[in-house]
Amino acid sequence: MPLFTESPVKLDDRLDEEALLSNGLESKHEDTGMTHNTCRRPLHRRNWGARFIVSGIIINICLFLVLSYLIVSPTTAHTGNWRYKTNKNQALKQMTYYSPYLDQVEIPFKQTQVDGFLVDPTYPQSIYKQEPSPEVDAAWSRLYNFRYKVISEDEVRQLDKDPRLTVKAPISWGYGDNAYISRTDVAHRIHCLDMLRKATYPESVYPHLRDGEEETRVLWRPHVMHCTHVLLQHLMCTATLEAVTYNWMEGMRFPIADFSINRQCLDVEAIIRWEEERDVVLDFDDIKKIDEWLDNVPADTPRIPVPKPYLDLFNSTGSGMGLL
């Protein structure tokens, strides 16, 4: 007779056992104030994941709006206290001092190879390297015979200039009282370079520059030195680091510098076209001929003091002009 006998377990007994176990667990949970169903994660905890997702979406939307403002809005956020009105010339606005013109015309960049040859090997050579002639002089004059423009008092202040000392445009120009005359500085620099070009030729080539309507003999050399200094300051201010390489050249003992470097340049033709479309029709020297200003300048208009050497120089010319 076997020591142990396996007695059959009835289904009802097994169900009763499971019920007892279940009741035991439920009783244990009741002792701690919990029921079997409350062992699940509370509802507010189950919503944490959804809340994190919603918060992430809101944060991303805020970042998108901020970036959109920085890109699409006027460039005040990018240019300190300067209040630009458009998104034109973003790179230039970062690189240069304030100019109201940067809101008026888009100036593209272009890659250009400099003509760095001492003697131009091509024919015909650049007109700007040719000997004096009416055609050559006209080509140079076109580069700087820019027209005058008007800017507002707010723009004058952003240039860190005093509107009280800045000359207003004549009422006859039709721009009202809040209009001050201005012009691009690049026009003055190219004018100065043309002065140096002409100074390299004998007096007989450009006699009127030294002794005529445009200049007097006394004023000629100070004018040339002024232009030389202006160009030097500009070159030092805009110094770049393009690399100049050297080549061996047939018949030459020493390496020859290759000054025909590649440069990233502004499209000056875009500036000239914009200048030619301006409403103010006065050209470079016409400002000297406007008697309207002399007749209508109020007596109490502030004037900047004149350094004695400056005054002596112009008095010695007998011209009475205050413009170089």
Reported as a single tens digit per residue, the pLDDT across 253-300 is: 999 999 999 999 999 999 999 988 876 656 555 565 566 666 667 778
> 58 burial class (0-12, 13-18, 19+ CB within 10 angstroms)?
exposed
What share of the chain has pLDDT > 70, as a percent? 67
Nearest CA among 258, 271, 113 for reference residue 190: 271
Q: What is the pTM of this model?
A: 0.69
Distance CA 212, CA 279 (A): 31
pLDDT of residue 43: 52
Nearest CA among 184, 224, 188, 193 for reference residue 129: 193
Distance CA 186, CA 251 (A): 40
β-pairing verdict for 245-247 and 149-151: unpaired
Domain residue ranges in the chain? 98-148+184-299
Average pLDDT, the chain: 78
Q: Would you call 184 helix, strand, or coil by DSSP? A: coil
Structure-block tokens of residue 154: 């707010």
Please provide the size of the chain in residues. 324
Judge whether 323 and 225 are in contact, CB under 8 Å.
no
Distance CA 154, CA 161 (A): 10
- Mean pLDDT value of segment 133-153: 91
- pLDDT bin (cut points 50, 70, 90) of residue 62 is confident
- Mean pLDDT value of segment 27-32: 48
DSSP 288: G
Beta carbons within 8 Å of 196's beta carbon, 6+ residues apart: 224, 227, 228, 231
Beta carbons within 8 Å of 204's beta carbon, 6+ residues apart: none
Q: What are phi and psi of 134, to 5 degrees?
A: -60, -35
pLDDT of residue 64: 72
- Out of 129-138, 150-159, 269-278, least confident range: 269-278
Beta carbons within 8 Å of 24's beta carbon, 6+ residues apart: none
Alpha-helical segments (H) within the chain: 11-31, 43-46, 48-72, 90-95, 134-144, 153-158, 185-199, 207-210, 217-237, 268-276, 291-296, 308-317
